[in-house]
Amino acid sequence: MATTEQALKQATSTIDGVIGAALVDYSSGMALGTIGGGNDLDLAVAAAGNTDVVRAKLRTMEQLGLKDTIEDILITLGTQYHLIRLLKGRGGDGLFLYLALDNRRANLAMARHQLRRIEAELEV
């Protein structure tokens, strides 16, 4: 089992092209842990903004009567991928892992695979 800090370090060391990563509580919009980011990516702002994205999608699914769960949300920008993975089980309800990736260096399929593995090992 990995702590938040270990999981975020694992994300930056095993996933190519990571700019920054965060574990976010989408009930409050607060980042519970961050790594990376910097001048080009304020992870606190990204956490709050992506919380709005998650909430909007959950609301829309409810309004549509969809009885399903969100696995990933992918936002593609000109130079970046933003990947949001909602956590399930072991106290992960209401949390998501967020990755910002440089799309020139990242392999999106491998990033999703690694993030799934990191989620499975994370203990919150």
pLDDT at 124: 79
Number of domains in the chain: 1
Confidence of residue 28 (pLDDT cuts 50, 70, 90): very high
Closest listed residue to residue 98, CA positions, set 18, 40, 3: 18
- Tokens 């993975």 belong to residue: 85
pLDDT at 71: 93
Per-residue pLDDT tens over the stretch 50-105: 999 999 999 999 999 999 999 999 999 999 999 999 998 655 689 999 999 999 99
Q: Which amino acid is at 39?
A: N
Confidence of residue 38 (pLDDT cuts 50, 70, 90): confident
| CATH number where 91 lies | 3.30.450.30
**Mean pLDDT (whole number) for 17-31:** 95
CB 47 within 8 A of CB 20: no
**Mean pLDDT (whole number) for 23-33:** 94
Residue numbers of the domain that contains 35: 4-121
pTM for this predicted structure: 0.92
Mean pLDDT of the residues in the chain:
93
